[in-house]
């Protein structure tokens, strides 16, 4: 009887996940390293969290009707294994409809690791996210954007679409809105271009969460872009 009850719970869990996956997204991967969204679309992405500014950023994105993609770490600013606040931020973002993607466990430079170490960086975060939100991400951004052919092959083999960016706000340098938006003015075209955009920000910075994100939203809308999660950029399912 106990075994049968466990079987039923497993079936319900699978059914819940399938029903939550948008019908237009398929479970596949795009090989290589991607830097652009599909034409007319822009993906707002944040790396290195969760951290103490992430929750308010999620609230603000929700207020503006924007679904972003959070490339999260397991142990960078906060430790997902031990920090309840970090776990709650992940749950909040996921429950709000934002995409949770991998940025590896410890933000190590994957190009400097062995094959086994690369796999461990990925799988350890997968296991933590499975415990917290019940899914494993299908998208990954390698720390520092570093993914040589060997690493990319490993990540693809593990079922990941590897995504970097087309616009780097460089919010990690000066925390100056004028400098950051200058980067956007220089690097982001318009929705009429043949390629869409993927913007790189970091939700671990107060200025990004409270000031920069809002300015990017306004600017991308002025340029005619439709906001998408990274998974929607490639018409792929966000989780596997």
- Domain containing residue 184: CATH number: 3.20.20.370
In a domain, 20, yes or no: no
In a domain, 224, yes or no: yes
Which residues are designated catalytic? 47, 202
Q: How many helices, marked H, and strands, marked E, lie in the chain?
A: 9, 9
The DSSP code for 50 is: -
Nearest to 233 by CA among 99, 38, 46: 38
Do 26 and 237 form a contact (C-beta atoms < 8 A)? yes
In a domain, 96, yes or no: yes
In which domain, by residue range, is 60 found? Answer: 26-233
Structural domain total, the chain: 1
Helices (H), 96-212: 115-133, 149-157, 177-187, 206-207
In a domain, 111, yes or no: yes
The DSSP code for 111 is: G
CA distances, 187 to each of 167, 182, 190, 197, 205 (Å) = 6, 9, 10, 9, 22
User: Tens-digit pLDDT profile for the chain (240 aa)?
Assistant: 444 444 444 444 434 433 344 545 666 789 999 999 999 999 999 999 999 999 999 999 999 999 999 999 999 999 999 999 999 999 999 999 999 999 999 999 999 999 999 999 999 999 999 999 999 999 999 999 999 999 999 999 999 999 999 999 999 998 999 999 999 999 999 999 889 999 999 999 999 999 999 999 999 999 999 999 999 999 999 998
pLDDT at 28: 73
Do 184 and 216 form a contact (C-beta atoms < 8 A)? yes
In a domain, 19, yes or no: no
Query: Tens digits of per-residue pLDDT, 62-91?
Result: 999 999 999 999 999 999 999 999 999 999
């Amino acid at each position: 009887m106990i075994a049968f009850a466990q079987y039923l719970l497993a079936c319900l869990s699978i059914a819940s996940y399938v029903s939550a996956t948008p019908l237009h997204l398929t479970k596949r991967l795009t090989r290589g390293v991607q830097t652009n969204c599909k034409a007319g679309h822009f993906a707002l992405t944040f790396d290195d969290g969760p951290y103490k500014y992430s929750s308010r950023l999620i609230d603000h994105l929700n207020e503006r009707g924007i679904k972003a993609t959070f490339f999260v770490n397991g142990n960078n600013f906060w430790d997902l294994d031990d920090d309840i606040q970090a776990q709650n931020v992940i749950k909040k973002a996921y429950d709000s409809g934002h995409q949770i993607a991998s940025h590896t466990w410890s933000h190590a430079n994957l190009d400097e690791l062995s094959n086994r170490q690369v796999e461990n960086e990925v799988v350890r975060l997968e296991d933590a996210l499975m415990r917290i939100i019940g899914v494993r991400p299908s998208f990954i951004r390698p720390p520092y954007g570093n993914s040589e052919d060997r690493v990319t092959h490993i990540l693809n083999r593990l079922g990941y679409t590897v995504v970097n960016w087309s616009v780097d706000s460089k919010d990690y340098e000066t925390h100056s809105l004028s400098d950051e938006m200058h980067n956007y003015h220089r690097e982001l075209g318009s929705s009429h271009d043949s390629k869409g955009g993927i913007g790189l920000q970091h939700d671990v910075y107060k200025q990004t969460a409270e000031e920069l994100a809002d300015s990017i939203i306004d600017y991308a809308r002025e340029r005619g872009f439709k906001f998408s999660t990274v998974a929607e950029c490639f018409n792929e399912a966000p989780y596997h």
